[in-house]
Amino acid sequence: MPEFTDHPLRYQLSNELHARPFPTAHAPGRAVYLVVRKENHAASRDKSEDLAHLIDLLDRYGAAHPQPGATHHSAQIGKHNLKWESHTEVVTYSVFMDGLGERPFDPADFDVFPKDWLASAPGQRVTSALVRVETPPEEERLSHALQEWFVPESLAVSHVLEGAAIVAGDFRIDPAGHVRFAVFPGEGTGASRVGRILQRICEIELYKSLSMLGFARSRELGPVLGALDDRLSDLMNRMTDETVPADETLQALLAISAELEAQSATSSFRFGATGAYEAIVLQRIEMLRESHFNGRQSWHEFMIRRYDPAMRTVKSTERRLANMAERAMRASELLRTRIEVERSAQNQSQLEAMNKRAELQLRLQETVEGLSVVAISYYAVSLAGYLAYPFGKSLGISKEWVLAGLTLPVVLLVAWALHRMRKRLGAQH
């Protein structure tokens, strides 16, 4: 019996499902979150640079290195726990700390990342966040703390996971350059569950920030598409003007189509990624299973009011770009059809002119053939006269009568011979 073999990727694919375990976090505690993205071609970047940068950080703390080609890594850096992950466009650093620190959302917590190490990062900061985890104080103190820590008009706070915790955030960048979040686990909420909540919060911030890159691209495209739309509308109006050469209009339309295709090529990945990131944001918020906290807006309501309009703008720009490209394509096809019709009419006129010229040539040929019969007959009659004159003289017939008698037969014979020759040549062609 042959040995039963496994698919070569069986274990690798199975382990991938367990490759990114949720962190554990205790209350009271803090977390620092950093997202780094390469400025250009982030999705196709050299990920070995990200690993080298991570190893540089680990070496500063004497921590263990990741495996070659790793996409995630956990390590102890000093007193803190580090979780590193490599995503399609970004790398993320999450550091979990025990205790609450000297003051809420202390910028000094971010010093876990050395300044020179940050300066040497192979990319730019997309977002960074400080998260405070503490047991919930009494309601009055909690309300006062939220009022002090966050911007009231942007604050989103709610109970999550059937009352397992209270989460709060305003999604604003504080004076130190970080977004703030607060988590208040309830009694009986274990470290694993707190870790999952922190993970969800960080993922919401991550994918919200990445999806907003699509919004920035939409704003850049707005004036460009506006100018192209005006040019396209003008050219479509010119299509009805018979005085404007169709070839000239077609070249202008093709130029606009090329510009639209170029804009579509540079924006397609960004818009597609934005749609995927938006779906993740909404999914992560749904997984929190929110309920209202003291009449405050929930995270879901915040996203509907502040985030959803930006995403609708992205989708609108994407549709506008596609519609303009389609309009330009249809206009080009119509113009090509018009040019083909005009060229067909021109070809028909040329064919008619060629037919007329052929008829004239035929008539001229017939005239020439008639003259040829006369000329050939003249010489043939003369030659025949020289041959027949001795016989006519012996019979007492004058030269004039001999020539007169030969003229008709000779002319008929020459005409018949030329007719036969023309028929033979016609049959060969």
**Residue 396 pLDDT grade (very low, low, confident, very high; cuts 50, 70, 90):** low
Per-residue pLDDT, 231:
87
288 and 299 Cβ atoms separated by less than 8 Å: yes
Which one, of 88, 94, 311, lies nearest residue 213 by Cα? 311
Per-residue pLDDT, 370:
61
- What average pLDDT does the segment 369-396 reach? 65
- Asked whether the predicted pLDDT for residue 392 surpasses 80, the reply is no
167, HSE (Cβ side, Cα atoms, 13 Å):
25
The single-letter DSSP state of residue 45 is: S
- What average pLDDT does the segment 304-315 reach? 95
- What average pLDDT does the segment 211-228 reach? 93
Per-residue pLDDT, 367:
67
Q: How many CB atoms lie within 10 A of CB 124?
A: 11
Per-residue pLDDT, 356:
81
- What distance in Å separates the CA atoms of residue 417 and residue 140, rounded to the nearest whole number? 127
**Residue 378 pLDDT grade (very low, low, confident, very high; cuts 50, 70, 90):** low
**Residue 1 pLDDT grade (very low, low, confident, very high; cuts 50, 70, 90):** very low
Which one, of 131, 193, 134, lies nearest residue 164 by Cα? 193
- What distance in Å separates the CA atoms of residue 233 and residue 226, rounded to the nearest whole number? 11
Mean per-residue pLDDT of the chain: 85
Bridge partners, 181 (sequence order) = 131, 169
**Residue 187 pLDDT grade (very low, low, confident, very high; cuts 50, 70, 90):** confident
288 and 200 Cβ atoms separated by less than 8 Å: yes
Residue type (1 letter), 69: G
Residues with Cβ < 8 Å from 272, sequence gap 6 or more? none
**Residue 291 pLDDT grade (very low, low, confident, very high; cuts 50, 70, 90):** very high
